[in-house]
């Protein structure tokens, strides 16, 4: 591997043990979330998918799983930045990070069941490679090499006909001319 050229895969928002409430809030903001996923490491999630990237709401329902959620930082909020790696595999990435002094722990494997559009269920398997934790101030940053062929969203349609007034009532702001919100 001559050089690692990471591209953002997704960001992680830690919601602690309040995943159901977080999902309700994000749905109220207009996000379309996937059904709850349950990881073999003890965490659960909902995803908001945007083409080739996504936002992950990550929860730690210890009472539900009996596991401790693999040590994700306790502070809620944006706490993870995850990188795509092209064709490099987890072991190759780990060796590269060791050479440049950025390696955290060796690759870690986990999985979660995924229900496909036809109703069948498969396991999505992952091997992640963390950057050295002392290099990250709040949360984690890690690489997520593709370990299985993915399926994507062929087309997405979004409408906002009645959402604008709802945003105004709820957040006291309106969309600007280029899509930004500004206080009113």
The answer to whether residues 119 and 176 belong to one domain is no
Please check whether residues 136 and 163 belong to one and the same domain: no
Whether residue 122 contacts residue 113, with contact meaning beta carbons closer than 8 Å, is answered with yes
What is this structure's pTM?
A: 0.72
Which pLDDT tens digit goes with each residue over 47-66? 999 988 999 999 987 655 44
| Nearest residue to 34 (alpha-carbon basis) of 162, 125, 124, 146 | 124
Q: 130 and 69, same structural domain?
A: yes
- Do 141 and 158 fall within a single domain? no
If one counts every other C-beta atom within 10 angstroms of the C-beta of residue 75, the result is: 11
Both 132 and 172 in one domain: the answer is no
Query: Which residues constitute the domain of residue 158?
Result: 154-184
> Which is more confidently placed, 168 or 98?
98
pLDDT single digits (tens) 85-126 = 877 889 999 999 999 998 888 999 988 888 888 989 999 888
């Amino acid at each position: 591997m001559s050089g690692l050229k990471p591209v953002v895969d997704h960001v992680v928002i830690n919601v602690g043990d309040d995943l159901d409430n977080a999902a309700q809030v994000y749905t109220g903001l207009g996000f379309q979330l996937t059904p709850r996923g349950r990881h073999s490491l003890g965490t659960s999630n909902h995803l908001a998918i945007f083409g080739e990237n996504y936002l992950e709401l990550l929860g730690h329902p210890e009472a539900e799983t009996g596991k401790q959620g693999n040590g994700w930082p306790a502070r809620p909020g944006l706490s993870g930045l995850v990188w795509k790696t092209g064709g490099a595999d987890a072991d190759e990435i780990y060796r590269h990070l060791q050479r440049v002094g950025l390696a955290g722990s060796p690759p870690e494997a986990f999985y979660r069941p995924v229900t496909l559009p036809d109703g069948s269920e498969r396991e999505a398997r992952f091997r992640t490679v963390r950057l050295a934790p002392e290099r990250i101030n709040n949360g984690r940053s890690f690489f997520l090499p593709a370990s299985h062929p993915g399926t994507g969203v062929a087309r997405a349609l979004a409408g906002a006909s009645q959402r604008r007034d709802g945003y105004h009532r709820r957040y006291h702001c309106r969309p600007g001319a280029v899509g930004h919100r500004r206080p009113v």
